[in-house]
Amino acid sequence: MSEDVLFEIEGPVAVITLNRPAQLNAINSGIRHGLAEAWKRFEQDESLKVAILTGSGERAFCAGMDLKEAAATGLQVPPRDFIPVLGDNIHVTKPVIAAVNGVAYAGGWLFAQMCDLCIASENASFGITEPKVGRGVPWATPLIHMLPQRIVMELLLTAQPLSARRACELGYVNAVVPLDRLRAAAMEMALTIVRNAPLTVRAARELVYLSTEMGRSAALRVGRHLFEPVYMSEDAQEGPRAFAEKRPPKWQGR
């Protein structure tokens, strides 16, 4: 694991931290390689049920690409595996929460966007800053499913940031909390998810993403297919049994 990415375990939750606070956690080779390893470790460890992605320091979640490194290497079109992106070149089947502490610009917004849920600190902001430096923004494509079209157009053309409060009003951010409560709030959400049946959680997560790519009838068919093994699982019998016996369920994930 790169020293630019920290991997902590708190019970069933992995906390992955971008760790270049002096550089506003800008994306360099250390972060790229460290994140790739972190996601692999999270996915392969069956005891870990949810991950939280955050940044070191109080100013930035991630300010985007390390432009000094990009200038030194003469980077042109980044290869598809250049940055580890969940749902694109990285396969993770478990929920991930972005805990955005400060600015999330360019590739930093990409990191927040690729997560399933997002909690932001009051000082957080989101910006598509690539137009200011002549870079491309293909990563922003999914935003059209997450924000109104006119808002996406404004963000792309003006390169002006969106505050955490406004992002929450628009439904992009799940909650805005004081900076000193950010990690605790993300952990509370993670543990709430952990208490639910893991097979249902995984299938529901997949359902949301597949449904954005197809029409109503096709999505309903996919939904039935996704949840058939959930209905047939031992956990599907354990849940009602635990309710009837007035005790917490003991999920087996099978």
136, 116 contact by CB (below 8 A)? no
**Domain shared by 212 and 162, yes or no:** no
pLDDT digits (tens, 9 = 90+) for 115-167: 999 999 999 999 999 898 888 888 899 999 999 999 999 999 999 999 999 99
Examine residue 188 and state whether it is found in any structural domain, yes or no: yes
The domain of 46 spans 5-194
pLDDT digits (tens, 9 = 90+) for 216-228: 899 899 899 899 9
Identify the domain boundary among 194, 209, 236: 194
Instruction: Cite the DSSP H helix spans in the chain.
Output: 29-44, 67-73, 107-113, 130-133, 149-158, 164-169, 182-194, 198-211, 216-231, 234-244
pTM to 2 decimal places? 0.92
**CA R_g for the chain:** 19
**Domain shared by 127 and 154, yes or no:** yes
Examine residue 163 and state whether it is found in any structural domain, yes or no: yes
**Residues 42-64, mean pLDDT to the nearest whole number:** 96
* CA distances (Å), origin 132, targets 106, 135, 159, 192: 10, 8, 7, 40
Examine residue 120 and state whether it is found in any structural domain, yes or no: yes
**pLDDT at site 55:** 97
* Percentage of the chain modeled with pLDDT above 90: 77
* Per-residue pLDDT at 80 exceeds 90: no
**Domain shared by 138 and 227, yes or no:** no
**Domain shared by 127 and 202, yes or no:** no
**Residues 56-62, mean pLDDT to the nearest whole number:** 95
**Residues 197-210, mean pLDDT to the nearest whole number:** 93
Domain count, the chain: 2
**Domain shared by 28 and 152, yes or no:** yes
**pLDDT at site 1:** 62
Examine residue 252 and state whether it is found in any structural domain, yes or no: no
Identify the domain boundary among 156, 179, 194: 194
Q: Which residue has the higher pLDDT, 53 or 132?
A: 53
**Domain shared by 56 and 86, yes or no:** yes
**Domain shared by 131 and 190, yes or no:** yes
**Domain shared by 118 and 142, yes or no:** yes
**Residues 162-191, mean pLDDT to the nearest whole number:** 97
pLDDT digits (tens, 9 = 90+) for 90-101: 999 999 999 999
**pLDDT at site 237:** 92
Identify the domain boundary among 194, 219, 236: 194
**Domain shared by 139 and 17, yes or no:** yes
**Domain shared by 225 and 161, yes or no:** no
Examine residue 105 and state whether it is found in any structural domain, yes or no: yes
**Residues 67-77, mean pLDDT to the nearest whole number:** 67
